[in-house]
């Protein structure tokens, strides 16, 4: 069997490497290696259908596709490091530990919660309430042809599907984390993020990707969201908007009707974070092809890159014209806006058109950030604008710059997802506000959440600036 041969080759190669690095290869005879491989494979129940499939010519493309999705999942995981560095870089130094802690919690909690409930609800075997709420079961210790070739795609194993989607799941709460940074109570945020990732995100995800009502209600005009401009980004953006409205602005942000900028402490960190997100987006969009088809994957890589670069340029020059200075933070958000904007149509919008999608998203994000600031919606990282506003635009761009779906269907789909996320967050975060509270005390906010919430500082050897 190919699996056993692969494991045997892997272990023998490892033995050879040990021998080459001054250890004797004879310390582990071939017979012991073979026995070790047998012990591993004997714990897995391979059926005849799976064995026959893996021996067939079709298994080659399946194996390559499965490997590409696992690599893509790793790239999406890197995005969490990007979010952590962007958020901490754009925040004040006194809140760095708090921001990093939230990001560590989100990804660890998100994967576990998605494994126990979210994946079952997002890709269900049974619908409980129409095509709106569902639940299923995916844990399967055996390896059969059915568990490999899932009901909706035969390009990867069920386990690969889970780990790829789990990397997506926590993103929604990460988007909210940036918007509420520097004044949210840690315990309240942790409760909210857990409920958002565990229950709310899988519900709207199932509407389209799980075969729910958005996937079935328009048989002749299907709603299209390739990699999640709405299902991931607009969802997180509108959840963030509800939370920010309930939380209120940071102390000192708006004084006597004027906007006082609260500058981030590390633009290098923020810039590193955006480039990490850019890198991760190749897995986010490229992996969403769901196989390793060379034409489709390369197409998506190109449209993703062109949109991101156009978004960065659009935001740079728009902010330079209207704010009179070339603003780095706007340029960085422009790159992210372009990435969010192309995500829904990365596989259906032509490369030339993707430049216009990114350019418009980059221009749009500048005006959106300025608008929310004027109405006193304090969003330290611009998450509502980047993910919410540009997520809606990106979903509509599928119809405006391509022919994969009609405008009306796209509008209904993106507004439905955004409205659900907003209302869910308004209710849950509102309940937390009136029960245990959602905001730290003025003293803690002034001193910094690192000391108030964690009792430790990110930069203990540096004195605070007198500026």
Q: Which residues of 262-272 are buried (b: 16+ CB within 10 A; e: fewer)?
A: bebbbeebbbb
CA angle 430, 433, 436 (to 5 degrees): 135
Q: What is the pLDDT of residue 155?
A: 76
Distances (CA, A) of 51 to 6, 99, 287: 14, 47, 26
As beta bridge partners, residue 184 has: 439
Q: Does residue 260 contact residue 253 with C-beta atoms inside 8 Å?
A: yes
Q: Does residue 386 contact residue 330 with C-beta atoms inside 8 Å?
A: no
HSE, side-chain direction, 13 A CA sphere, residue 196: 37
In whole angstroms, give the CA distance from residue 143 to residue 433. Answer: 47
Distances (CA, A) of 425 to 192, 243, 270, 381, 432: 8, 7, 27, 19, 10
pTM of the model: 0.88
Structure tokens of 272?
């590193």
HSE, side-chain direction, 13 A CA sphere, residue 46: 15
Per-residue pLDDT of the chain (467 residues; tens, 9 = 90+): 455 554 444 444 444 444 444 444 345 555 665 665 455 455 555 666 767 777 778 788 888 999 999 999 999 999 999 999 999 999 999 999 999 999 999 999 999 999 888 888 888 766 555 555 555 555 543 444 455 554 345 678 888 888 999 999 988 889 999 999 999 999 999 999 999 999 999 999 999 998 889 988 888 888 999 999 999 999 999 999 999 999 999 999 999 889 999 999 999 999 999 999 999 999 999 999 999 999 999 999 999 999 999 999 999 999 999 999 999 999 999 999 999 999 999 999 999 999 999 999 999 999 999 999 999 999 999 999 999 999 999 999 999 999 999 999 999 999 999 999 999 999 999 999 999 999 999 999 999 999 988 999 999 877 555 44
Q: What is the pLDDT of residue 121?
A: 85
Secondary structure letter of residue 333 according to DSSP: H
Kindly tell me the number of DSSP H helices and DSSP E strands found in the chain.
22, 4
Q: Quick check: helix, strand or coil at residue 122?
A: helix
- Tokens 């790793």 belong to 74
Secondary structure letter of residue 254 according to DSSP: E
Could you give phi then psi for residue 128, rounded to 5 degrees?
Answer: -90, -45
Rg (CA), the chain: 24
Question: Domain 69-454 is classified in which CATH homologous superfamily?
Answer: Ammonium transporter AmtB like domains (1.10.3430.10)
Q: What is the pLDDT of residue 146?
A: 52
In whole angstroms, give the CA distance from residue 112 to residue 90. Answer: 29
Q: Measured in Å, how far apart are the chain's first and last C-alpha atoms? A: 68
Which segments of the chain belong to CATH 1.10.3430.10?
A: 69-454
Helix axes 58-90, 267-286, angle to 10 degrees: 160
Structure tokens of 332?
């960085």
Q: What is the pLDDT of residue 240?
A: 98
Q: What is the pLDDT of residue 11?
A: 45
């Amino acid at each position: 069997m190919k699996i056993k041969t692969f494991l045997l080759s892997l272990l023998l190669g490892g033995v050879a490497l040990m021998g080459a690095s001054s250890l004797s290869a004879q310390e582990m005879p071939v017979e012991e290696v073979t026995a070790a491989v047998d012990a591993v494979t004997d714990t897995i129940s391979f059926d005849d259908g799976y064995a026959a499939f893996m021996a067939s010519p079709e298994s080659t493309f399946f194996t390559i596709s499965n490997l590409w999705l696992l690599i893509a999942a790793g790239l999406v995981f890197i995005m969490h490091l990007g979010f952590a560095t962007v958020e901490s870089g754009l925040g004040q130094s006194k809140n760095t530990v708090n921001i990093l802690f939230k990001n560590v919690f989100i990804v660890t909690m998100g994967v576990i919660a998605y494994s126990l409930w979210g994946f079952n609800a997002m890709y269900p075997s049974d619908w409980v309430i129409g095509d709106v709420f569902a639940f299923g079961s995916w844990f399967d210790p055996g390896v059969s042809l059915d568990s490999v070739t899932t009901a909706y795609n035969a390009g990867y194993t069920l386990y690969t599907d889970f780990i790829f989607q789990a990397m997506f799941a926590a993103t929604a709460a990460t988007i909210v984390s940036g918007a509420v940074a520097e004044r949210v109570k840690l315990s309240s945020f942790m409760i909210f993020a857990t409920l958002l990732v565990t229950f709310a995100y899988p519900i709207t995800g199932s509407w389209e990707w799980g075969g729910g009502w958005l996937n079935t209600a328009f048989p002749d005009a299907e709603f299209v969201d390739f990699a999640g401009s709405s299902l991931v980004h607009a969802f997180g953006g509108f959840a963030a908007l509800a939370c920010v409205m309930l939380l209120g602005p940071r102390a000192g942000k708006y004084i006597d009707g004027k906007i006082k900028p609260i500058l981030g402490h590390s633009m290098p960190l923020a810039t590193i974070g955006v480039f990490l997100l850019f890198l991760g987006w190749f897995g986010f969009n490229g992996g969403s092809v769901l196989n390793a088809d060379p034409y489709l994957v390369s197409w998506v890589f190109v449209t993703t890159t062109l949109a991101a670069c156009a978004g960065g340029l659009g935001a740079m020059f728009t902010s330079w014209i209207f704010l009179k200075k070339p603003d780095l933070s706007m340029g960085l958000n422009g790159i992210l806006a372009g990435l969010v904007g192309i995500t829904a149509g990365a596989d259906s919008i032509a490369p030339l058109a993707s430049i216009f999608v990114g350019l418009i998203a980059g221009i749009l994000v500048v005006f959106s950030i300025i608008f929310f600031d004027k109405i006193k919606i304090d969003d330290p990282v611009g998450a509502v604008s980047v993910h919410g506003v540009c997520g809606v635009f990106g979903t509509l761009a599928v119809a405006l710059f391509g022919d994969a779906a009609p405008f009306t269907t796209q509008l209904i789909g993106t507004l439905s997802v955004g409205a659900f996320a907003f209302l869910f967050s308004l209710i849950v975060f509102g309940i937390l506000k009136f029960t245990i509270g959602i905001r730290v005390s003025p003293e803690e906010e002034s001193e910094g959440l690192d000391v108030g919430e964690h009792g430790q500082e990110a930069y203990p050897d540096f004195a605070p600036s007198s500026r």
